[in-house]
């Protein structure tokens, strides 16, 4: 059986987050508490203060397993020392109700927000994502702050249900794992690529950078600087136990604005023959704009006709491409609410209300590339 709703605890946490959003402070992620300053609350508090860290993201669960390291006592001790505490859990999608119960238990322990670390294991699992979020929202309430901490390059993962995790009823915030060293790119390019796609989901972006795997201190500082150029309130870092002394210094050093840099305003463009979750997202908005089309993640004739008709109706260039101007007009309509099923219709006949549709066929598409090798944060030993 699932856990009972947590109205009192969730309401308190929602009120705390509304008063002071924990994501607006500099954040640091903790995987294994015992490997982070020896698990000493006194040392963690001292080190966090010294380096300007205001929010800690502490692992609270892995799959359907609750980690005892995230306890009411730990949260209370950190709160008493002026730190905000978010829980995070690694999810796989195999037992989504149980995973939601784990997340809700962290809320009950006093978490200021809950970060959802969903990565390659969740590719193709639209129904699991929907089940997890529905159960979680039932338990913690519609206003409780949820954060998706997922893979940053949306175009590399056409089968991943970003449109569920960041769609209606999903996470209010987006913290993509922008680990430029692991991806093999520059700080500039990781921002450009990540934002071109993630902006389209309409959730505020809080960049998650890396202090593991020996990034150069200058790159860490530039990551911080560019976050301000992209209007991000703050950044967080993976992770405490793997950060070197030089990385910690770079996190805390003064970092003024970049005078010779302008943030990219590019948005992704999709058109005929495109496939993937971003096509699903466009189709959900076309449905709400009044077009009866398949929501299947495949940009075919019906979608093309709807796009050109939409462009004509809104005085846009009629080119059949969903580019910046078309996205901006389309996103004003919001995404249609969809209940995904194994069987059922594929064509959305009308806008308004919840639609019951078959899982998009694009869900079966494999990743074109795993930009971040491995699954950071999966497994580990609870302490």
| Domain contains 372 | no
Predicted structure pTM score:
0.93
How crowded is residue 339: how many other Cβ atoms within 10 Å of its Cβ?
12
Give the model confidence (pLDDT) of 161-185 as tens digits.
Answer: 999 999 999 999 999 999 999 999 9
* Residue 322 confidence class, pLDDT cut points 50, 70, 90: very high
Residue 332 has pLDDT above 60, yes or no: yes
Examine the pLDDT at 4 and tell me if it is beyond 80.
no
Residues 92 and 205 in one domain: yes
Statement to judge: residues 227 and 331 lie in one domain: no
Residue 14 in this model has a pLDDT that exceeds 90:
no
* Residue 267 CA: distances (Å) to CA of 107, 154, 163, 325: 35, 12, 16, 9
pLDDT over threshold 50, residue 383:
no
- Same domain? For 108 and 174 the reply is yes
Q: Are residues 58 and 158 in the same domain?
A: yes
CATH number of the CATH domain containing 172: 3.20.20.80
Helix-then-strand count for the chain, H and E: 13, 12
pLDDT at site 378: 78
Q: Are 301 and 198 within one domain? A: no
Q: Report the candidate in 227, 355, 228 with the shortest Cα–Cα distance to residue 286.
A: 355
User: pLDDT-derived band of residue 10, with 50, 70 and 90 as boundaries?
Assistant: low
Range of the domain at 324: 277-364
- pLDDT band per the 50, 70, 90 thresholds, residue 353: low
- What pLDDT is recorded for position 255? 92
Find out whether 100 and 63 touch, Cβ atoms under 8 Å. no
User: Has residue 375 been placed in a domain?
Assistant: no
219 and 135 in a common domain: yes
Q: How many domains does the chain have?
A: 2
- What is the residue-averaged pLDDT of the chain? 94
Q: What is the rounded average pLDDT of the residues 266-272?
A: 98
Which CATH number goes with the domain that contains 286? 1.10.101.10
Give mean pLDDT, residues 48-74.
98
């Amino acid at each position: 059986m699932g856990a009972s709703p947590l109205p009192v605890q969730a309401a308190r946490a929602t009120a705390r987050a509304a008063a002071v959003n924990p994501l607006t402070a500099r954040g640091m992620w903790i995987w294994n508490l015992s490997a982070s300053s020896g698990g000493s609350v006194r040392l963690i508090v001292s080190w966090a203060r010294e380096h300007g860290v205001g929010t800690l993201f502490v692992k609270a669960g892995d799959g359907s397993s609750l980690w005892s390291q995230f306890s009411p006592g730990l949260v209370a001790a950190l709160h008493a020392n002026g730190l905000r505490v978010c829980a995070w859990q690694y999810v796989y999608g195999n037992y989504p109700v149980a995973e939601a119960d784990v997340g809700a238990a962290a809320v009950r322990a006093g978490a200021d927000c809950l970060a959802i670390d969903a990565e390659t294991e969740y590719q193709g699992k639209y129904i699991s994502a929907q089940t997890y979020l529905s159960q979680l929202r039932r338990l913690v309430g519609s206003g409780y702050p949820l954060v998706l901490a997922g893979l940053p390059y949306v175009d590399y993962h056409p089968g991943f249900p970003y449109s569920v995790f960041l769609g209606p009823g999903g996470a209010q915030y987006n913290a993509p794992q922008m680990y430029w060293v692991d991806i093999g790119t520059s700080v500039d390019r990781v921002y450009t690529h990540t934002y071109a796609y993630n902006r389209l989901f309409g959730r505020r972006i809080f960049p998650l950078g890396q202090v593991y795997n020996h990034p150069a201190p200058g790159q860490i500082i530039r990551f911080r600087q560019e976050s301000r150029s992209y209007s991000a309130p703050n950044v967080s870092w993976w992770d405490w136990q793997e950060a070197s002394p030089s990385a910690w210094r770079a996190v805390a050093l003064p970092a003024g604005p970049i005078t010779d840099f302008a943030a990219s305003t590019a948005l992704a463009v999709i058109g005929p023959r495109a496939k993937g979750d971003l096509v699903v997202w466009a189709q959900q908005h076309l449905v709400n704009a009044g077009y009866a089309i398949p929501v299947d993640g495949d940009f075919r004739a019906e979608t093309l006709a709807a796009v050109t008709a939409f462009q004509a109706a809104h005085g846009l260039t009629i080119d059949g491409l969903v580019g910046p101007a078309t996205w901006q007009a389309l996103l004003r309509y919001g995404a249609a609410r969809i209940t995904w099923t194994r069987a059922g219709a594929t064509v959305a006949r009308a806008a308004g209300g919840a639609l019951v549709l078959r899982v998009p066929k694009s869900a079966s598409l494999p990743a074109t590339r795993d930009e971040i090798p491995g699954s950071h944060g999966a497994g580990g030993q609870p302490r």
